[in-house]
Amino acid sequence: MYKVAFLPGDGIGQDLKEVVKLFRDKIEEKYGFSFELNELPIGGKAIDSFGDPLPPDTLKECKKSDAVFLIAVGGPKWDNNPPNLRPEAGLLKLRKSLNVFCNIRPIKLSKHLTHLSCLKCETVDKGLDIIILRELTEGLYFGEPRGIYTQPDGSKVAINTMSYSSTTIEKFAKIGFDLAMSRKKSLTSVDKANVLENSRLWREVVENLSKSYPEVKLDHLYVDNAALQMIYNPNQFDVIITENLFGDILSDEAAALVGSLGLLPSASIGDNKPFLYEPVHGSAPSIAGKNMANPIATIFSIALMLRLSFERNDIAFDLENAVEKTLEMGIGTADLKMKNTIGTREFANEVLKNL
Ligand SMILES: NC(=O)c1ccc[n+]([C@@H]2O[C@H](COP(=O)([O-])OP(=O)(O)OC[C@H]3O[C@@H](n4cnc5c(N)ncnc54)[C@H](O)[C@@H]3O)[C@@H](O)[C@H]2O)c1
Ligand SMILES: CC(C)[C@H](C(=O)O)[C@@H](O)C(=O)O
Ligand SMILES: [Mg+2]
C-alpha cells in the first residue's frame, strides 16, 4: 500500500484535513485503491508542540513516504517569531530537502464559474487553461547571505540574495519544454532580464535548451509585462516557466482569473520521489475553523497525487469530473458566490456523491 506523509498544518489546513480522509476512504471503497495517511506535525502547530516548524521526525517520515501531502501553514500567532521559528520556514525547508524544484500550478476556469472571474465574460467565455511552472528551490527564497544587519552608525540594512544555478534552471526548463510538447507547443519564459543577472542567465539557459525543441514556440516576457498580459489576455499563454518569487506572485494573480484561490492545486516534482502536493492557498486565518474553506484545491491536489505519484489517472479524472458536476448543480462554498452556498464538509460530501 502507498504511504502518504500527511501534513494538514494550520488554519484551514485543520478544516480540510477531514476532507482528505473522506476522499481516501471513498477511493478505497469505490476503486479498491488504498493509500495510508500518516499524519505528521508541521508549521505553527509543530512550533507549539516541538519548538520546530519542521521536526526531524516529520522530515524523516516524509523522505520515507511515497508522496507528501501538505495543506497549509502559517497564521498571525507566529508572525512575529524569529525567521527560523516561523511556520513558513518549515515549508521552505521541506521543499528544499525533498529537492522538488518544479512546482506545477494548473490554472483552469470551470465553465460553471465564469461569473466569478475578475475578467469580462467575453475574455473568458472560451475558457482558460494554462499551467504555471514555478521553480521552487532557489532564488530569493534560499540565496545566501541573508539577514538584517546593524551598520556602524546604528542604522539597519536587510539583505536577501537572489541566486540561480544553470543546472537547476536547465532541469526545470526541460520539464517546461516537455510539457509544452505534450500540449500546444507554446512556452513563455518569464524573467526580468532587463535588470537582473539571474534572469540573464535564466534566458541564456532557456534559449540554449530551446535548440533541442525546435517545434516549441518560445517567448520571453519581463515579469511586469507578464502580470499585465495575464489580465489583458490570459489565453495567449499555455505553459509558463518562471523563477520562484515571480511564480508565487503570478499564480495568486491567476487565481483571480479563475475566481478563487480556493480552486488551485499544485504538485512539486523533482528528480526523485517523493513528490509534494499542496493547494496553492495558505491557512486563510479569517475563515479558519468556520467550515467555510473551499475544498476544491485540496481535492484537485489529491487528483494530481493520484496522477503523478500513483499512476491512477483514471481516478484523478473521475475526481475532477465529480467537482465539475457538483459546480454544475449551482452549489459551492462562500467564495464561489453560487446560487446555494454550503459549508466545506457539505460541499465535499456533494462531490463524493458525484464520484
Ligand atoms: N502553502 C502554504 O502553506 C501557504 C501558502 C500561502 C500562504 N500561507 C500562509 O498563510 C497565512 C495567510 O496568508 P494569506 O492571507 O496571505 O494567504 P491565504 O492564501 O491564506 O488567503 C488569501 C485569501 O484567499 C482566501 N482563501 C484562501 N484559501 C481559501 C479557501 N480554500 N477557500 C476560500 N477562501 C480561501 C482567504 O480567505 C484570503 O482572503 C500566512 O501565514 C501565509 O504565510 C501558507
Ligand atoms: C507560505 C509561503 C512560504 C509560500 C511561498 O511563498 O512559496 C506560499 O505563498 C505558496 O505560494 O506556496
Ligand atoms: Mg503563494
User: Domain with 321 in it: what CATH number?
Assistant: 3.40.718.10
How far apart are alpha carbons 128 and 237 in whole angstroms?
9
Question: ∠ CA(218), CA(224), CA(230), 5° rounding?
Answer: 65
With respect to residue 147, please indicate whether it lies within any of the assigned structural domains. yes
Provide the 3-class DSSP secondary structure of residue 166: helix
DSSP codes joined into one string, 44-80: HHHHHHHS-SS-HHHHHHHHHSSEEEEEE---GGGTT
CB 68 within 8 A of CB 277: yes
- Say how many residues make up the chain: 355
With respect to residue 111, please indicate whether it lies within any of the assigned structural domains. no
Spell out a b/e string for 101-124, using b for 16 or more CB atoms within 10 Å of the CB, else e.
Answer: bbbbbbbbbbebbbebbebeeebb
Shared-domain flag, residues 168 and 187: yes
Shared-domain flag, residues 286 and 305: yes
Shared-domain flag, residues 239 and 286: no
Distance of CA 252 to the CA centre of its chain: 10
pLDDT, position 162: 98
pLDDT, position 120: 78
CA-to-CA separations, 147 to 76, 241, 333, in angstroms, rounded:
22, 28, 41
Element (H, E) at 198: helix 197-210
Give which of 259, 240, 238 is closest to 250, Cα–Cα.
240
Say if ligand 2 is within 6 A of residue 248 CB: yes
Q: What residue spans of 233-312 are helical by DSSP H?
A: 244-258, 296-308
Which residue's alpha carbon is nearest to atom 38 within ligand 1?
284
The Å distance, Cα 254 to ligand 1 centre, comes to 14
Q: Which residues pair with 106 in a beta bridge?
A: 131
Other beta carbons less than 10 A from residue 311's beta carbon: 9
Q: Which residues are catalytic?
A: 141, 192, 224, 248, 252
Shared-domain flag, residues 279 and 245: no
The pLDDT profile of the chain, 355 residues, written as one tens digit per residue, is 999 999 999 999 999 999 999 999 999 999 999 999 999 999 999 999 999 999 999 999 999 999 999 999 999 999 999 999 999 999 999 999 999 999 999 999 999 999 888 887 777 888 899 999 999 999 999 999 999 999 999 999 999 999 999 999 999 999 999 999 999 999 999 999 999 999 999 999 999 999 999 999 999 999 999 999 999 999 999 999 999 999 999 999 999 999 999 999 999 999 999 999 999 999 999 999 999 999 999 999 999 999 999 999 999 999 999 999 999 999 999 999 999 999 999 999 999 999 9
Shared-domain flag, residues 69 and 139: no
Shared-domain flag, residues 144 and 239: yes
How far apart are alpha carbons 143 and 316 in whole angstroms?
36
Which residue's alpha carbon is nearest to atom 17 within ligand 1?
282
Predicted-complex ipTM score: 0.98
Say if ligand 1 is within 6 A of residue 332 CB: no
- Using the 3D structure, point to which of 214, 234, 258 is the last residue of a domain: 258
- Using the 3D structure, point to which of 220, 235, 258 is the last residue of a domain: 258
Shared-domain flag, residues 203 and 126: yes
- Of the residues 95, 281, 301, 337, which should be mutated to test ligand 1's pocket, given the most ligand atoms within 8 Å of the CB? 281
Shared-domain flag, residues 145 and 193: yes
Other beta carbons less than 10 A from residue 355's beta carbon: 19
pLDDT, position 140: 98
Say if ligand 2 is within 6 A of residue 191 CB: no
Q: Which atom of ligand 2 lies at the shortest distance from residue 74's CA?
A: 1
State the total domains in the chain: 2
Shared-domain flag, residues 177 and 244: yes
- Domain span at 251: 118-258
Say if ligand 1 is within 6 A of residue 73 CB: yes
